[in-house]
Structure formats: structure tokens, C-alpha cells
Amino acid sequence: MERLRHLRVHVLPKAKKDDSVEEIEDVTKTVWAQLTEVFQTELYNGQSFADLLTFESLISFTGNVIAAALLLMIGFTIAGFVRRRLRKFGENHESADTTLFDFLGNILRYVILAFTGLFVLNTFGIQTTSIVAVIGAAGLAIGLALQGTLSNVAAGVMLIFFRPLKIGDSVEINDVIGSVKEITLNYTVLADLSNVRVVVPNSEVWGNTIKNYSGYPIRRAEWTFGVGYGVNLAEAERVILDTVMADARSHKHPQPFLQVNNLGSSSVDFLMRVWCDTDVYFQYQADMKRKVKEALDDAGINIPFPTRTLIMDTPRGDADKYQHPIAAE
């Protein structure tokens, strides 16, 4: 009996030890199988991870990395060169629009860099067809999510290509009058008459009426001058015409226009139209108003102002009351 007890005490620990060893062996086999599967998985150019760890594969991979680095360097150099040349061409030719050439330079730069990226991927044996398809699907999803922004971009492209306005033009957009300072793909920047920065989305610029005051080299200024009914109209016409045409900014061709345009309640109104250079239009128009007023005063020609006559119908018994001032108490 004692022997059995002694045997049981020693046999049980040995059985537990054998179970632990078997578990360790099973785990080891499982890990080794998984590692073998990983090493045999195809990773690059039909080769597994184990194949890539060979000396020949490392040399080939290093060569691909160097080739990719050279391609990136060449691509960035060419892209920058093309962009600078187009921008320089727009700056050197007065008839060319610098905004248009800046836009074309940026587009060509991104195109060159995109092709460079495809060449780099091909260097490593990566198939770019699937990547292009994924990028196209992602672009469609992004386009649906950013419809408002893309409409501004589309309008910006139209503004740059058709050029209804350019940097430096005086324009009126959405009841805002100002000078164009910047045209981007998303928005247009104006400086209004108070030099306040106004940012207008391109979709609103392209979708609304644009008044470009700098669109033509000359403009026609217009004034209305009123004189009294008792004035000699021929004399008034001569004074107005001589005063305006004596200014060096007034163009004699096309011929100026001056005629009686309206018989107002208290004045005879002359309409005067004269052509001038666009860049002096606003100051010229203001100066002529003052000069014509002073010339009419010097010629003794009356410039009427509205008057009103009041007729008061008072009772007969209160006539004396309104004829004499009331003494203060």
C-alpha cells in the first residue's frame, strides 16, 4: 500500500511535465507554420519575402530605389522649369495674360509630377492600372461631396481662359466696384473704392453680370448742366462746350455731343457727352463739373436751384394778425 502511494506521488508530476512539453511543441509548430506562410507570401514582382532577403534581391531593390530617386529629381526639375518658363513668357509679353500663363504653368507642373509618380511605381513593378482606377473612383466621390467648391473651380477655369477681367481692371461685380487684385481657381479678390479687401467666389463672378470699366482704352463721360429759363441758350451752349473741350483730356474724335435734353421744373438741362481715356475717367468727370460751374458763373449765366412759392389763404378777420409780428410775452 505504501509503495502505491509513493508511486502515485511521483507519477503525477511526470505526466504534467509531458503535457507542458507537448503544448510548447504545438505552439512552436504553429508559429513556425505561420512564419513559413509569411515568408512564402508573394510581396513584390512575383517574389516572396524569403526571396527578397537574398543578396541579389537586395541589390536589385537598392537599384530600384536609386532609379526612383533619380526619376523624382528629374520630374521635379522639369516641372519647375516648365512652370518658370511659362510664367516668364507671360511677364515678358505685354499682350499675354500673366494669370493665364500662371494657371497653365501650375497645371503642367502637376501633370508632369503625376506621370513621374507613375514611372516611379512602375520602377518597383507595381501595376498602376488599378491605382488609377481607385483614384478615379475616389475623385468621383470627392466631387460629389464638394460640388460647391468644384463649381468655383470650374468657374475659375472659365474666368482664366475667357478672361472677362484681369488683374488691375476696374470692375463692378455684385454691386461692388473695385480693382481686381487676384484671380485664383476658387475666388476673386477685389479692392473696393475704400481699399477694402472683398473676396468673391468664382461661381458668383462667372454667374453674374460683370461690368469691366477697364475693358476698352477710352470711355464716354456724361454730364447734365442746368441753366435758367431766361438765359440765352446759344451762349450757355458755347460756354459749356468751350470749357469742356479746352481740357487736354477731352477727345475731339469722336465728336462731342451737347444738346438740350430736358425742360425741368426750374431749369433747362443740357446733356454733354465727351470721350476720354479710361484711366483718367473718374477724375476728369469730377473736374469738368467744377470747371463748367465756374465758367457759367464768370459768364453771368444763371444756374437755378429749385424754388417753391407758398400762397396762404387766410380768413379776412385774421389778416392783421398775420401781417404783424406777435410780441413775445
Residue 281 is predicted with a pLDDT of 94
Which pLDDT band, with edges at 50, 70 and 90, does 12 fall under? very low
Measured CA to CA, the distance from residue 128 to residue 327 in angstroms comes to 105
My answer on whether 268 and 285 are in the same domain is: yes
My answer on whether 225 and 182 are in the same domain is: no
The set of cell numbers assigned to 291 is 470747371
* Domain contains 308: no
The set of cell numbers assigned to 214 is 477697364
My answer on whether 224 and 294 are in the same domain is: yes
71-95 exposure pattern, b = at least 16 Cβ within 10 A, e = fewer: beeebeebbeebbeebbeebeeeee
Triad 162, 163, 165: Cα angle to 5°? 150
My answer on whether 127 and 192 are in the same domain is: no
Q: Report the percent of the chain where pLDDT is more than 90.
A: 36
Task: Give how far the C-alpha of residue 177 lies from the chain's centroid of Cα atoms, to the nearest Å.
Answer: 17
Contacts of 86 by beta carbon, 8 Å cutoff, 6+ apart: 101, 102, 104, 105, 108
* Domain contains 41: no
Question: Strand 176-183 relative to strand 170-173: parallel, antiparallel, unpaired?
Answer: antiparallel
- Residue 193 sits in a domain whose CATH number is 2.30.30.60
**Quick check: 232 pLDDT over 60?**
yes
Return the higher-pLDDT residue of 1 and 127: 127
* Domain contains 267: yes
My answer on whether 62 and 93 are in the same domain is: yes
The residue-averaged pLDDT of 54-74 equals 77
**Quick check: 31 pLDDT over 80?**
no
Return the higher-pLDDT residue of 174 and 133: 174
Alpha-carbon distances, residue 71 vs 2, 66, 77, 125, 177 (angstroms): 86, 9, 10, 15, 49
The residue-averaged pLDDT of 71-92 equals 86
Cis before 256? omega within 30: no
**What is the tens place of the pLDDT at every residue in 176-190?**
999 999 888 889 999
Total number of residues shown for the chain:
329
Q: Residue 178 corresponds to which amino acid?
A: G
Q: What is the mean pLDDT of the chain?
A: 80
Contacts of 316 by beta carbon, 8 Å cutoff, 6+ apart: none
Q: Residue 9 corresponds to which amino acid?
A: V
Q: Is 253 exposed, middle or buried (0-12, 13-18, 19+ CB in 10 A)?
A: exposed
My answer on whether 73 and 114 are in the same domain is: yes
The residue-averaged pLDDT of 250-256 equals 94
Given a contact cutoff of 8 angstroms between Cβ atoms, the answer to whether 233 and 260 are in contact is yes
**Quick check: 309 pLDDT over 90?**
no
Give the relative orientation of helices 147-162 and 98-123 as an angle to the nearest 10 degrees: 120
Residue 92 is predicted with a pLDDT of 77
My answer on whether 226 and 184 are in the same domain is: no
Residue 3 is predicted with a pLDDT of 47
My answer on whether 224 and 293 are in the same domain is: yes
In the chain, the number of structural domains is 3
On the CB side of 319, CA atoms within 13 Å amount to 3
Query: What is the pTM assigned to this prediction?
Result: 0.56
Which pLDDT band, with edges at 50, 70 and 90, does 149 fall under? confident
My answer on whether 243 and 291 are in the same domain is: yes
My answer on whether 121 and 181 are in the same domain is: no
Given a contact cutoff of 8 angstroms between Cβ atoms, the answer to whether 303 and 227 are in contact is yes
**What is the tens place of the pLDDT at every residue in 198-224?**
999 999 999 899 999 999 999 999 999
Triad 56, 59, 62: Cα angle to 5°? 150
* Domain contains 1: no
Measured CA to CA, the distance from residue 215 to residue 171 in angstroms comes to 9
Return the higher-pLDDT residue of 149 and 280: 280
Lowest mean pLDDT among 86-95, 116-125, 220-229: 86-95
In the block, residue with C-alpha cell 470749357: 243
**Quick check: 132 pLDDT over 80?**
no
Report for 33-47, 142-156, 217-231: range of highest mean pLDDT: 217-231
What domain range includes position 169? 164-212
Residue 328 is predicted with a pLDDT of 46
Measured CA to CA, the distance from residue 19 to residue 241 in angstroms comes to 120
Given a contact cutoff of 8 angstroms between Cβ atoms, the answer to whether 202 and 185 are in contact is yes
Lowest mean pLDDT among 41-50, 53-62, 275-284, 297-306: 41-50
Q: Which residues pair with 172 in a beta bridge?
A: 177, 211
Return the higher-pLDDT residue of 200 and 322: 200
Residue 325 is predicted with a pLDDT of 52
